[in-house]
Amino acid sequence: MATVDQRPTLRTEIAGLSIPKLAAEHGTPTYAYDAQIIKDRIDDLKQFDVIRYAQKACSNLAIVDFVRKNEVCVDAVSAGEIRRALAAGYRTQGEPHPIVYTADIFDREALELCVEHNIHVNVGSADMIDQLGEVAPGRNITLRINPGFGHGHSQKTNTGGEQSKHGIWHGDVNDCLIRADRHNLVVTGVHMHIGSGTDFEHLAQVCGAMEKTVAEVGRTVNTISAGGGLPIPYRDGDERVDIGKYFELWDRVRNRIASNFGHQVRLEIEPGRYLSAESGYLITEIRAIKRMGDNLFYLVDAGFNNLARPILYGAYHPMSICPASGVDDNRSMQDVIVGGPLCESGDIFTQEEGGFVSKRSLPVANVGDFLVIECAGSYGFVMSSNYNSKPMAAELFLHNGEAFVARKRQSFEDIIRGEAIPS
């Protein structure tokens, strides 16, 4: 299996564009997405009949539009994500379904949108079947099944097993079929997603569970979805998932189901992280360097309001330094702690799960140099907030040698929009 070699810790360009120039033109902190990397990851998955992008990972319209133009379908988990898919040009009808709504509940707005636009629904609770059936009988639906086990890079991203709120419990399939029948809803799809950042062995277990559930649902099924969860190599030496081997496992399951049913069965995959994580770079500027006893801190102008994964999961992101000059001047290395500007001690990008601060070997840097946080294109910007009244970062889409402003940095007016002082 291919492993990822050591990444450079000194970097002057992203997608052929100078980092100091990007920073001068667009300010910092700024997210930059390299479109070519997204394209390469899409190509990796081309064996699957349908690639459905889990846009929750990075839902900027420029990215959603880009994956659409590369024949990728889309998943939406909220009314807002349905609206984003529509705004990015997705049609509502077609085979395979261009947009699927996947959730464990319908809030009222999402139900209305699914009914109005006839958007295919992947139901994660029996109540959703009744709620949809009452207002839109006769539709096709997919059942999202919790197979009774799950796995993720953190317990917080494990979406299977008894402790997870996600999906329909595998023992409740028959009850759901009875409910569906009551409303003339036809179950045409079965979906399983056991967690995010899962390893190959756990992903492979889903195949058996899928076969069992599909047999229970019966021959109305024409689509199976392996969900998302594919890991990406965040650390040097991490292995890449063997996509060919993963496809083969699923293809065998699909073929067995198809020959039992005597009709074709479509195989979907639903990645978020795999498509966008490696494309994303968070460009920050080092604003202070200080020593606390034995520890040296690089303090940058992005915080967990911009990238929450380290504080939430102890997630590791590769980092590099770009000299302010933009010239690789061959610097020596030192162990540092990287933190942000927020008034909270957990605002540290180099930490383990549980909040334990760790050190990172990075080139010697000066105030005014740039620090780039890498593999930040999934669950980066989308999980950002206005904590400490900080504006959300700008987002740049780097394509064909140009930096397109996919989202302007928020202004102070954007932050307080909708607030009021009582008279």
Residues in the site for ligand LLP, rule: CB under 6 A?
Answer: 54, 57, 102, 157, 159, 193, 196-197, 227-230, 270-274, 309, 378-379
Please give the Cα distance from 112 to 124 (Å, whole number): 17
Q: How far is CA 99 from CA 92, 324, 344, 351, 383, in A?
A: 6, 43, 39, 37, 22
**CB closer to ligand LLP out of 56 and 183:** 56
User: Percent helix, strand, coil in the chain (nearest 5)?
Assistant: 30, 25, 45
Helix (H) and strand (E) counts in the chain = 12, 20
**CB closer to ligand LLP out of 350 and 378:** 378
Q: How far is CA 406 from CA 63, 380, 409, in A?
A: 9, 15, 10
Token pair listed for 104: 């464990």
User: To the nearest whole angstrom, how small is the minimum distance from the Cβ of residue 28 to ligand LLP?
Assistant: 22
Direct distance between the N- and C-terminal alpha carbons of the chain, in angstroms, rounded to an integer:
66
**CB closer to ligand LLP out of 20 and 227:** 227
Note if 58 is an active site residue: no
User: To the nearest whole angstrom, how small is the minimum distance from the Cβ of residue 314 to ligand LLP?
Assistant: 11
Burial class (CB in 10 A: 0-12, 13-18, 19+), 148: middle
Q: Cβ contacts of residue 277 below 8 Å, gap of 6+?
A: 57, 232, 375, 376, 377, 378, 379
**CB closer to ligand LLP out of 26 and 193:** 193
Please give the Cα distance from 69 to 401 (Å, whole number): 18
**Annotated catalytic residue, options 73, 207, 343, 375:** 343
Cα 403 versus chain centre, distance: 22
32: β partners? 281, 396
The residue type of 165 is K
**CB closer to ligand LLP out of 349 and 370:** 349
User: To the nearest whole angstrom, how small is the minimum distance from the Cβ of residue 315 to ligand LLP?
Assistant: 6
**CB closer to ligand LLP out of 230 and 403:** 230
User: To the nearest whole angstrom, how small is the minimum distance from the Cβ of residue 383 to ligand LLP?
Assistant: 6
User: To the nearest whole angstrom, how small is the minimum distance from the Cβ of residue 29 to ligand LLP?
Assistant: 18
User: To the nearest whole angstrom, how small is the minimum distance from the Cβ of residue 345 to ligand LLP?
Assistant: 21
| Catalytic residue set | 343
